[in-house]
Structures are given as structure tokens and as C-alpha cells.
Amino acid sequence: MKMGFLLRIVIAGSLGGCIVCTAAEPQSFRVATYNLANYILQEGTGRPVKSEEAKAQIGRAIQLIQPDVLALQEVGGLPALEDLRQRLQLLGLDYPWYELAPGWDTNIQVALLSRWPILARRSHTNETYLLNGRRLHVSRAILEVDVEIRSRYRLTMFVVHLKSRRPVGVADQADMRLEEARILRSKIEERLARNPRANLLVAGDLNDVKNSRTLRTVIGSGRHRLTDTRPAERNGDTIAAVRPRADPPRITWTHFYEVEDSYSRVDYILLAPGMVAEWIPEESYVLAFPNWGLASDHRPVVATFIDEDR
């Protein structure tokens, strides 16, 4: 990791003049989250190695989005992240700043790629909780960074991948996920207690649906309640919700579960109150593209913002 950090510093210095000279007019920037479904390069992890065809399709998806900041889940360590960065660079997408957060699960990790400087790193890699008398570890780290967008807008990002819905022997998977959600919420509350107007964003695979205890816990309530951006496919749907205060009928699913032949929304971009005014809903979406399933069983989620506090 030290070598990667030094690389970031060198590149930051080489691009510093461009960043300082950014135009004063507000501009948009794009944040995306994408579960890569085992972006693993080597045998021996107990998970399948990612095929060349799948890696190429992931590159095409990200190229279609052109994100400025990209949250990633299921990255198979630093070599896998470097492999992806190099592939994206060949496609014209340069991400000189990055963060990889190792957790209790050493096979797949959360990561972040950024076109803009990472100013602070506060990832939480060894969180635990007590459940039914047993001390358990949060499976994947909670990645937390501050990113400076064009030297004018500071963004705090949490990248997360909560416990899957697959049953395990040690405890109920839903209870485990809820405990992880509570830990994540405590980190959010800590940050917002220091600055209630912080430009704070949570992105990642929460492995649960919108009316679940997991989502209700992460979103919270009161003055620090998060806003669910709920991006949808850009397919022309415009009709309003059928009931007051209900969501309009849109195609919002992000994950395909082959065993049940089911489609659900488990990948989210959630906003703290201080960031809602900068959000551009009409430029936020779930990417629909041909042969999306070759890349992953998840689809990317995108949200767009103005780089000006409002």
C-alpha cells in the first residue's frame, strides 16, 4: 500500500496545476457504485477467477458511465484493483487516486477509484459486534475517505458491502447484516455530529431491500436522515406514483439472483441532508446495457451532483 500511496502523491503533484486552474463556474460530477462479482485474478480463494470476457465487459460498463468517483465491491485485493485501473486507463479513464480497504474477509474487499485527490482516509477495517453471546467481525471493511472535487467541493464517502443474504452457520444472516448496518450508522452519526451540513454519501451493496431493518437503520431518522436517490433505468418511463408518498413505477433493480430468478434493488447511493441540494436526479440512473450479466450479477448505480455547496 505504501507504493500506491507514493504513486498518488506524485501524480497529484503532476496534475496540481490543472486542478488549481479549474474554472469558477459550477460543474457536475458523477459518482457510481458497482459490485464486480468476484474480481479475482488467482485460484485458491474458494471463489471463481474472473474471466477475461467479464473483465472486459466491466470496463465497457464503466466507460459508458464515465464516473469521477467509483465505489467498488468484491475486489480481489490490490493486484485486482491495479488490473482494473490499468484496463480503464487503456479505455481513456484515469483514476490516479484510490483506496482499498481490507476486512475480515480477505478474498474480496471494498475499494474506491477517484479522478480527484483523496484528502483523508479513515477506513474501518476491524469492526466487531456481539450477537447471541458471540463476538463476530464485520465481514468487509467500511471504507471512508474525503475527496476534493476540483479544489472546490469536499465529499465524504462511505463505501460498503454488508453481509450477504446467504445463510451461514454462526448466526442468522439478517441479524448479522443488521448489526453491520448499526455500526455503519454509528460512523455516519459521528461524522454528521461534527458537521451536520457535510457533503456525505454512502455507496455500495447493502444486500437488502428498501423496507428492511437494514435499510431503515442505515438511512436513520430525524435531522441526520439520509435520502435514497433511487436511480432507475433511463428507458423513458415518466408516469407518477399510483399512491400518495409512494415511489413512481420505475425499473430500479440492481441485482439478479439466479437461484430464485429474482431481481431486486440492493445497491444504493444515499445522501446526507447537506448534499441533497447538489444532487441532479434526472442525471442519476441504473445502467442498462447489453449483456450486462457477463460482467456481474449486479448493475452499476449512478448519481450526479453539482460541485457547489447549496
Average pLDDT of adjacent 10-residue blocks, the chain of 310 residues: 34 40 79 98 93 98 98 98 98 98 96 98 97 96 97 96 93 97 98 97 98 98 97 95 92 96 97 98 97 98 97
CATH topology of domain 27-306: Deoxyribonuclease I; Chain A (3.60.10)
Q: Which residue has the cell 470496463?
A: 59
Is residue 249 helix, strand or coil? coil
Closest C-alpha among 67, 61, 71 to residue 267 = 71
**Element spanning 29, H or E:** strand 28-39
- Output the pLDDT for position 12: 37
**Element spanning 28, H or E:** strand 28-39
- Output the pLDDT for position 4: 39
Distances (CA, A) of 18 to 14, 22, 151: 9, 6, 10
Domain positions in the chain: 27-306
- Output the pLDDT for position 268: 98
**Residue 273 C-alpha from the chain's centroid:** 18
- Output the pLDDT for position 23: 54
> Distance between CA atoms of 225 and 190, rounded to whole angstroms?
13
Task: Decide the pairing of beta strands 262-264 and 267-271.
Answer: unpaired
Eight-state DSSP code of residue 273: H
CA within 13 Å, CB half, 41? 10
Is residue 190 helix, strand or coil? helix
Helix intervals (H) in the chain: 2-20, 52-65, 77-90, 173-194, 213-219, 273-276
Q: Which residue has the cell 444532487?
A: 279
- Output the pLDDT for position 245: 87
Phi and psi, residue 113, nearest 5°? -115, 140
